[in-house]
Amino acid sequence: MSSILLQVIVSGLLIGAVYALFSSGLTLIWGMMNVINFAHGDFVMLAMYTAFLVWTAFGGGPAASVPIAAVVLATIGVLSYFLLVRHIMRGPMLAQIMGTFGLALLLRYSAFWYFGANFKTLPDTLLGPPFVFGSIRVDAPRLLAGTIGLIVTLSLHLILTRTALGSRMLAVSEDATAAQLMGIRPEHMQAAAWALAAGATGIAGALIATFFYTSPTVGETLAIVAFVTVAFGGFGSVPGALLAGLLIGVIEAVSAFMIGPVYKDVIVYTLFVLVLWTRPQGLMGKA
Amino acid sequence: MSLRMRGARTGQRLMGCLVAVLAVLYLALPAAAEPKIKIGVIFDLTGPLAGGGSELHHLGVKIMIDRFIKQGGVEGYQIEAIYADAQSKPDVAINEAVRLIEQEKVDMVLGFFSSAQCVPVAARVEQLKKFMWITTCISSAVLENRNLKYVFRPQPSGAQFGELSMDFIAQNAKEKFGKDPKDLRVAIIHEDGAYGVDVARGNESGAKKAGFNVVLKEGYSATAPDLSALITKLKRARPDVIFHTGYNPDITLFHRQARENGLKFSALIGQGAGYGVYAKLKEGLGKDVNYLFDVDPISIWNTNKQVLNPKLPPLIDMVGEEYQKAKPETTIRSAHVGMAASNTYVFFTEVLPRAIKKYGGIDADALRKAALDVDLPEGGTMLGFGVKFAGEDTPVAGQNLRAFPVITQYIDDNSYVVWPKSQAQREAVLPLPAGTTYSPK
């Protein structure tokens, strides 16, 4: 394999790991509660602004902004659950869609009001020079985001499958009434799912802010990728989001290199449609 | 109750109604006596295009409209502006234009930053038989071979941008790069919307004329979160000069990833939009903004005042003062604000008064006839160029045939016009000095 192609694949894997990270929160909420969070992209946006505020206030880099954004977003996630989602879950599916869509608009226009429309960028000197491995160059923000993306996504999967908390959360998602009879409080588990999902989204947003612009509408751009990743990987499946994120990242990068950046979306979405056509539940979703 | 009393009550009620009707008529009378032109102004105040230059165009237009409102209107007509936000989305731009025309009953629309918005909006406004004055967007596709009657653009076209930048490098190839044009490796990269595609088309035709070796021509989405594949292709193609058309933030993303991935080149010519907003470039690129070029209509603060109509320099000063008041943090005044202000000024001084006086009003036909009559020689606008619109039944009906862009270079927090030679304020720094981030030496 030529070193140039290897460089392209490595870049694709890194951006793919970031896709997986910011999609895992979306898939987690769906898997736990059958709710599609249309405000997901705007959660990413808030985390990006949190990183920006941490930098402007204290000159803090990702070491400070990632944990702060995780806590801030986890709090916002819990508040969203108790103040909105818990209520709209009792309504029809349309109420859930409109409810989270309304939350998205509320967050977006609050950001407009407070931060203005102009986009912001963090200095690209926060993380130092690129890493060079032989003929492969990897810029530090993407390497950090990709690595943490992999770690956090795998951790989410382990929390769900290997811990008591995960078992209780899955029990609630399977049958909330039966779980309640076993002494599990569904509302607490659902709030924990929102905290976990939004916290992971917070980590993703703070990392993305190190190499991508921040604006009140940036969530719209990122949300499309998140929805495609989640549908591709299978709604509700964290490993599916990871696999789909990595696949989309590599397919995008290789097709942009081999055919042209203009056509990469055509390739990605053609494959996406083909996968859904043959496997509507996504790569790792349950039928 | 007696009949007489009932009659008296009815009479009182009738009298009350009459007084009310007269009061309404009285209130309505002054409005009828003071005719008004309602102008719908559309720019992107939110979304990525806002910071990429659209908000600055909005400011330039507003400064000029406020000036004419303050002076009491034009030829007895009051001016009312209704500002709308296209949100950096073509569908929103179309909806806002239609809303302004059908619900707000504006007499005309003005503005538009993005060519991707201009192309469909121009078609819709033409259908609705309203007048459209484009202050900003430059894609040839807006007007070329569409024979639009009511759409006018005082700006130069995108193809002109692309051809000028190629000519600039061709004329400097031997002296600055020590190479014949045929040996100079050039790459053309562009956002894939109407604007980028059109400028790239001008680049291609200019490259063909100059005989350059085009090693890469590639489009990309302005909202892409990752441009590393494009940069890898550029590294493989090893261009001497890159011609880049983009908005911002994609420009910032491109330069940052280019730096991280070790892309080298001898010069980069930015072609309008995001490259015209120095503050955002500096914020995103830091010292690497030094020696970048931008193709745009000249910044009104850089025009040679000796060749301008004498009434224009005080206006340029006024626009500058208002700009600084609105954005006190500005270091280099963006050409965008002046561009929008100048093009709006041409409408208020050349088109509107002529439509009212010569063609009897402000309907689309009167404004169209007035626009076609405009005949300003070079030096007649703050941007230095003249104005003469291509008439109907020509391939570019509505295009200002006398408009031209210039090439500016950013050097140590200053901007200097470096091309064409007739406008140049200093010699261009070419190629990139050794030791700078992207320089191969």
Query: In whole angstroms, what is the distance from residue A46 CA to residue A154 CA?
Result: 23
* pLDDT bracket for residue A245 (50, 70, 90): very high
Residue A162, helix vs strand vs coil: helix
Stronger pLDDT, A143 or B187, i.e. the higher one = B187
* Residue A1: per-residue pLDDT: 58
pLDDT at B376: 95
Percentage of chain B surpassing pLDDT 70? 93
Mutate to test the interface with A, among B49, B57, B228, B327 (most CBs of A within 10 A): B228
Distance from the Cα of B252 to chain A's closest Cα (Å) equals: 8
Q: Is the pLDDT of residue B405 over 50?
A: yes
Q: Which residue of chain A comes nearest to B235, CA vs CA?
A: A4
Q: Cβ neighbours of residue B329 under 8 Å, at least 6 residues apart?
A: B279
Assess whether B137 and B178 both reside in one domain: no
Quote the domain boundaries for residue B284: 159-296+405-419
Q: Are A121 and A218 in contact (CB under 8 A)?
A: no
> Alpha carbon A76 to chain centroid distance?
15
pLDDT band at B4 (very low <50, low <70, confident <90, very high): low
Longest dimension (CA), chain B: 110
Does residue B160 register a pLDDT over 90?
Answer: no
pTM: 0.81
**A167-171, B3-7, B30-34, range with greatest mean pLDDT:** A167-171
The mean pLDDT value for B122-146 works out to 93
Residue A41 has pLDDT above 70, yes or no: yes
Residues B171 and B292 in one domain: yes
Cβ of B226 within 8 Å of Cβ of A11? The answer is: yes
**At B2, is the pLDDT very low, low, confident or very high (cuts 50, 70, 90)?**
low
In angstroms, the Cα distances linking B13 to A36, B9, B25, B155 are: 61, 6, 18, 61
The answer, yes or no, to whether residue B321 has pLDDT greater than 90, is yes
Distance between CA atoms of B173 and A111, rounded to whole angstroms?
48
Res B334: pLDDT? 87
Per domain, the residue ranges of chain A are 3-278
Q: Per-residue pLDDT averaged across B227-244, rounded? A: 94
Q: Is the Cβ–Cβ distance between B251 and B49 less than 8 Å?
A: no
Q: Do A130 and B262 touch (CB under 8 A)?
A: yes
Length of chain B, in residues: 441
Q: What is the dihedral of CA B12, B15, B21, B23, to 10 degrees?
A: -100
Q: What is the pLDDT of residue A220?
A: 85
Both B276 and B412 in one domain: the answer is yes
* Region of A178 on the Ramachandran plot (φ > 0 left; ψ -120 to 50 alpha; else beta): alpha
pLDDT at B428: 95
Each residue's pLDDT tens digit, B360-376: 999 999 999 999 999 99
Confidence label for B302 from pLDDT (cuts 50, 70 and 90): confident
CB B48 within 8 A of CB B87: no
Dist. CA B253–CA B347, nearest whole Å: 37
Residues B116, B207, single domain; the answer is: no
Q: Does domain A3-278 have CATH number 1.10.3470?
A: yes
Residue of A nearest to B228 (CA): A11
Residue B180 shares a structural domain with residue B106: no
Q: Where are the beta strands (DSSP E) in A18-175?
A: 131-133, 136-138
**In sequence order, what DSSP letters do the residues of B366-421 get, joined into one string?**
HHHHHHHH--BPTTSSTTS--B-B--TTSTTTTBBTT---EEEEEETTEEEEEEST
**B189, B226, B244: best mutation site toward chain A, by most A Cβ within 10 Å?**
B226
Looking up residue B167, the CATH number of its domain turns out to be: 3.40.50.2300
How many angstroms separate the CA of residue B278 from the nearest CA in chain A?
Answer: 14
- Indicate whether B413 and B282 sit together in one domain: yes
Number of folded domains in chain B?
Answer: 2
Kindly state whether residues B138 and B175 are assigned to the same domain: no
CA pair distance A214, A260, nearest whole angstrom: 26
pLDDT higher at B22 or A4:
A4
Per-residue exposure over A253-266, b if at least 16 CB sit within 10 Å of its own CB, e if not: bbbbbeebbbebbe
pLDDT band for position A138 (cuts 50, 70, 90): confident
Which residue type occupies A68? Answer: I
> Over 50: is that where the pLDDT of B1 sits?
no
Asked if residue A116 has pLDDT above 80, the reply is yes
Task: Give residue B318's pLDDT.
Answer: 96
Q: How far apart are CA A211 and CA B65, in angstroms?
A: 39
Looking at the complex, report in whole angstroms how far the Cα of residue B228 sits from the nearest Cα belonging to chain A. 7
The span from the CA of B50 to the CA of B78, in Å, is 29
pLDDT-above-90 percentage for chain B: 70
pLDDT at A217 (0 to 100): 87
Contact B223 A221 (CB under 8 A): yes
d(CA A154, nearest CA chain B) in Å: 23
Q: Does residue A267 or residue B34 have the better pLDDT?
A: A267
> Has the ipTM of the complex gone over 0.90?
no
Residue A143: partners with Cβ closer than 8 Å, 6 or more residues away: A14, A131
SS3 A182: coil
Does one domain contain both B292 and B342?
Answer: no
Choose among B232, B284, B286: nearest Cβ to A4.
Answer: B232
Q: How confident is the model at residue A272 (pLDDT cuts 50, 70, 90)?
A: confident
Rounded-to-integer distance, Cα B68 and Cα B318, Å: 13
Q: What is the pLDDT of residue A124?
A: 79
CA distances from B2 to B8, B12, B13, B287 (A): 10, 15, 17, 94
Is A11's CB within 8 Å of B253's CB? no
Q: Which of A102-116, A143-157, B28-42, B325-339 has the lowest mean pLDDT?
A: B28-42
Tokens (6 digits) for A202:
């917070």
How far, in Å, CA of A150 to CA of A155, rounded?
8
CA separation for the pair B141, B159 (Å, rounded): 10
Cα B123 from Cα B287, distance rounded (Å) = 43
In this model, does residue A117 exceed pLDDT 70? yes
- Length of chain A counted residue by residue: 287
Residue pairs spanning A and B at CB distance below 8 A: 106
Q: What is the pLDDT of residue B38?
A: 97
What is the band of B135 on the pLDDT scale with cuts at 50, 70, 90? very high
* pLDDT higher than threshold 80 for residue B32: no
Is residue B12 in a domain? no
Average pLDDT over residues A107-135: 85
Would you say residue B26 lies in a domain? no
- pLDDT at residue A287 above 70? no
- B151 phi/psi in degrees, rounded to 5: -110, 125
Q: Which pLDDT belongs to residue B260?
A: 86
The better pLDDT of the pair A186, B240 is held by B240
Query: How confident is the model over A66-106, as pLDDT tens digits?
Result: 999 999 999 999 999 999 999 988 888 888 889 999 999 99
Whether residues B349 and B313 share a domain: the answer is yes
Same domain (yes/no): B290, B191: yes
Element (H, E) at B134: strand B131-134
Average pLDDT over residues A122-149: 85
pLDDT band at B53 (very low <50, low <70, confident <90, very high): confident
Q: Are residues B278 and B362 in the same domain?
A: no
Count of beta carbons in the 10 Å neighbourhood of residue B236: 13
Same domain for B84 and B101, yes or no, is yes
Residue B366 is predicted with a pLDDT of 97
Q: Are B377 and B401 in contact (CB under 8 A)?
A: no
In a domain, B312, yes or no: yes
